[in-house]
Amino acid sequence: MKAVRFTEFGGPEVLEIVDLPDPHPGQGQVRIAVRAAGVNASDWKKRKGLMDELLPQTLGHEAAGVVDELGAGVTDVAVGDRVFGVSAEPAAQAELVVLSHYAPIPPSLDFPGAAALPAAIETATRALDQLGVKSGSTLLISGASGSIGSAAVQFAVARGARVIGTASTANHEYLRSLGAEPVAYGAGLVERVRALAPDGVDLALDVAGSGVLPELIELAGGPEHVVTIADFDGAQAHGVRFSRGDSGRALHVLAEIGELIESGRFSLPVAQTFPLAEVAQAHRVSEDGHVRGKLVLVVD
């Protein structure tokens, strides 16, 4: 099968499309013929040597496609079914991938739309679960217009929370359409939030990692009311919880998201698609950082 791989760290030019052995599913797993695979910031961070030191590396943990092989004990899907999900190994940007957790693709979604979901919805749900966001909570989300931030907004609104979200002015109307009250980020954030919530907020989620943890702590009344998914050093410095997948993943959301999508209460836009062979360009766009919605690779 064809797959994305790199054998040295560096710029997008180190990415290659290579032939690798076909994978096969184990107990409780399924293999899919990949039709689309998500691209995330972790991909280019790995490519640059900022996360993992091992070489060579393949990439991608989220994909959507058609089941073509079942592992032992699998009875909830059949060969030919459309599914999306996550791979335990970083190998989803390929023609074939084994999914360790999966769910049927919601009827209204195409393959790119489904491939865009897993990482964003799992990360957002995990953070909201860790914060204890519930009906009646007032939640501040720093970096609310990206894929994870917008997912967190919609999930929090669905739980009955009031959401205040930071974003550039150009994205304020988008946040309103999701049910959030937008504020501009940058100097004066505390005052702008207090203009909307004079007593501060109950909880705060840092998605952007832009150095705002002290302000979030002040607004939320202490570090125990703040979670960050993007500022590991800041979390250590300020006593804030850093949410990471190895602390318990919220994969239950894969089976739950379909109802929200089909009822019109959740959407995650695909910003741009690229053929698998153009993965280097996808990395350039991702690393540039000015994307609203997900980047997705498509496999013919």
Whether 137 maps to a domain, the answer reads yes
User: Does 147 lie in the same domain as 87?
Assistant: no
User: Does 88 lie in the same domain as 159?
Assistant: no
Q: Find the CATH number of the domain harbouring 237.
A: 3.40.50.720
Query: How many domains is the chain partitioned into structurally?
Result: 2
What local confidence, expressed as pLDDT, does residue 292 receive?
75
pLDDT digits 0-9 by tens, 224-265: 999 999 999 999 999 999 998 766 789 999 999 999 999 999
Asked whether 84 and 102 are in contact (CB, 8 A), the reply is yes
Whether 259 maps to a domain, the answer reads no
- Dihedral of CA 272/146/279/17: which sign? negative
Provide the whole-model pTM: 0.94
User: Does 204 lie in the same domain as 292?
Assistant: no
Encoded amino acid at 297, one letter: L
Q: Which two tokens stand for residue 237?
A: 């410095």
In whole angstroms, give the CA distance from residue 183 to residue 216: 13
Q: Which domain holds residue 112?
A: 2-116+269-298
Band the pLDDT of 46: cuts 50, 70, 90: very high
Whether 7 maps to a domain, the answer reads yes
Whether 260 maps to a domain, the answer reads no
Instruction: Compute the average pLDDT of residues 62-89.
Output: 97
Burial class (CB in 10 A: 0-12, 13-18, 19+), 96: buried
User: Does 227 lie in the same domain as 280?
Assistant: no
Q: State how far the alpha carbon of 228 is from the alpha carbons of 53, 195, 224, 232, 287, in Å.
A: 24, 23, 11, 8, 20
Residues counted in the chain: 300
